[in-house]
Amino acid sequence: MPNNKNKYLEELNAEQISAVENLSGPLLVLAGAGTGKTRVLTTRLSHILRLNQATPSQIFAVTFTNKAANEMRERVESILSRSVAGWWLGTFHSLAARILRKHAELVNLKNNFTIIDSDDQIRLIKQILVSENIDEKRWPARTLLSIIQRWKDSGLNPQDINKSHYSGSDFANGEAGQLYKLYQERLITLNASDFGDLLLHVINILKINKDIRVQYQEKFKFILVDEFQDTNAAQYYWLKVLSSKHKNICAVGDDDQSIYSWRGADVNNILNYEKDFKNAKIIRLERNYRSTGNILSAASHLIANNESRLGKTLWTKDEEGDKISIRNVYDGQEEARSISDEIESYQRNRHNINDVAILVRASFQTRSFEERFLKIGLPYQVIGGLRFYERVEIRDAVAYLRLINSPDDQLAFERIINKPKRGLGEKTFQKIEFYSRSKAINLETAIRRMNETDEFTAKIRLSMKLFIKNLDRWRNHIKSDKLGDLLQMVLEESEYTDMLLKDKSIEAPGRLENLKELVNAINEFDSLSNFLEHIQLVMDGGANSSVESVKIMTLHSAKGLEFNTVFLPGWEEGIFPNQKSLDENGKIGLEEERRLAYVGITRAKTNVWIFNASARLMHGQWIDSIPSRFIDEIPEKYVTKISSFADVIPEYQSGFSSKWISSISKKNSQSIDEIIVQGSSSPNSNIVNDKKLHEGERIFHQKFGYGTILNIDGEKVEIKFEKSDTKKVLMSFIEKTT
């Protein structure tokens, strides 16, 4: 039992106290979600100082984010009642920068070196590509930056690079390694470092200079690491070197929450801890202080399907609570409606919607919720990212559509004239602007006229003629084509899609998905002008952070957060688990996707809602959806399964995973307008009517129920539904009543 001198230990449980008091040798604290890992880490640091085991300057405490570092500082200051200013307590990058400033000359830098951001990195790489006569359009600077960052995260210098390190990325016909070398040389010339260099340079200093290596190894008697499962190869090596003298390294983390492999994190760092740190002790924190029993049991059974884990089982002394609700809906629109209905009910019962979160697997999923919430006036915030229509790729695509709709839209013209690159330099564009002003004509007309003169070089003239030709053709398709087809044409023929396909940065796949979702969005409108007006209304209805609001974010952004109620939409194969992750990484990818599901469930204190749709509108086409395998991995005793079909087809309740609509695949090759008309549900070929229908007849529709036919136009039937509005649906989706 803690004595009076150690009152700060009294609120800890037995496992937490053990983690605090074990001060000899390597220690791994496996801290499950909501088990108080930050408290353990900060209390351990304070305990070391209270017992005079080390001075503040002899403790190296590192975490990943400034937020976490600040929280650690505040807690330690509260326990010790003293300032921690000047202590070795901060993020990997801040502590690395501190060491590098002291020894910068050893890597040919001055101690006043500049730390450049991603924009400066891109600008520098573009300069190098130009100097090496490499076509930046074919080999984007952002792709090379992503490759270089990956190498730095792995602790690789330019001289270390060989063919085995390319990972299938043959940038510039195998020149990436040489370009990396030139990039590093240029940084040295500029007396600059990027974020990857901060750790890499320090590693190089420790490797090369024995005296400095020994100095820091002797200096730091205790090393504390937060979120250890998120460390990359370079960070891991750094920690191993620094701890090799005293061996008092305490790593706090959760292998079940390792979800950042796409940015270099290696779950094997925590899985192999006992191998790499001899005589390491493992303490498991399993008592959860956040979630109800049912939530924890469901999450534990789900994650138990992973083979690559050290193993632990979360539990709580609190009540079992409500079961997890798993709801099947028709489509994405109904998913948004159902979730908004639940949130409004939550609000009516005087609950604070600040404590409600919608956690999506991919950022494109936010659109349907944003538009639904704006429509009904439900306040929301997109956390950790931009709102859908604020995203760069969406703004670019919309700018193309604005220019197609109105040649006088100068701002749209300026945005997209050189995106993707069309060879227009700043001087050439200034010439176009001057001509436009002097002739009192818009920029597009200016280019049309200048194409007939000798004011452009032959290369630019050819590029501008193609651009104008495309604009004319796109405008001719405004009324003859479906809007989604038009947008896809624009994205492909402008080479915007190709630009993103060549971009190998971690953001590029998400941007492509967002554009696909924009195609879905535009297909909901009958004219381009109406769609553009809709966007303006959406943008003007922005979120107000000063009022209570629902939080919308990706599952990755939600890590470390907690909410009373959590909604998890889109639990369908292909969306979650993500198909790209499965295709590229196989079993390893699947296990990380499962860890992500585990993170999502364990964000909730009392209520979890999981949604899956029977059909999704993807790329302007309906596809049938298969429920996520993660749903079946949660034992039925912890869940309540609900289906939107239940009030129409009662027998549907008897089977959840086996009775999905099977006929949608027959429609996959058809466009949205061929499958569904104005507000109808996802198609179901089980409802087929081969009898002749007449105006005034009473019919039945699977989603909308009973109604009366108002008008028949070929296969399109206008119906006044008894429990809904008047809608147009296809004849094949209704049946006569008897």
Catalytic residues: 37-38, 226-227, 257, 603
In which order are the strands placed within the sheet that holds 726-730? 726-730, 716-721, 705-713, 698-701, 734-736
In which order are the strands placed within the sheet that holds 604-613? 380-382, 550-554, 356-360, 563-568, 604-613, 324-329, 639-643
DSSP state of 322: P
Phi-psi region of 271 (alpha: psi -120 to 50; beta: other; left: phi over 0): alpha
**Torsion over CA of 289, 293, 294 and 295, rounded to 10 degrees?**
10
Question: Length of the chain in residues, anyone?
Answer: 738
Task: Select from 509, 541, 538 the least CA-distant residue to 524.
Answer: 538
d(CA 450, CA 444): 10
d(CA 183, CA 157): 11
* Strand 88-91 to 621-624 pairing: unpaired
Tell whether the torsion through CA atoms of 233, 234, 236 and 240 is positive or negative: positive
Q: State the DSSP H helix or E strand holding residue 283, giving kind and residue range, or none if neither.
A: strand 281-285
Q: Tell me, what amino acid is at 327? A: R
Tokens of 526: 């009958």
* Strand 698-701 to 705-713 pairing: antiparallel
Phi-psi region of 61 (alpha: psi -120 to 50; beta: other; left: phi over 0): beta
Which residues are within 8 A (CB) of 125 and not within 5 positions of it... i.e. 6 or more apart? Answer: 141, 144, 145, 179, 183
Tokens of 479: 């009324």
d(CA 130, CA 57): 47
d(CA 50, CA 222): 14
Q: Where are the alpha helices (DSSP H) in 169-246?
A: 176-189, 195-208, 210-219, 233-243
| Angle subtended by helix axes 483-493 and 528-540, to nearest 10 | 80
Q: In whole angstroms, how large is the CA radius of gyration of the chain?
A: 29
* Strand 716-721 to 726-730 pairing: antiparallel
Strand spans (E) along 571-679: 604-613, 615-618, 621-624, 639-643
User: Read out DSSP for 508-552?
Assistant: HHHHHHHHHHHHHHHTT-S-HHHHHHHHHHHHHT---TTS--EEE
d(CA 367, CA 374): 11
Q: For residues 494 and 137, is the Cβ–Cβ distance under 8 A?
A: no
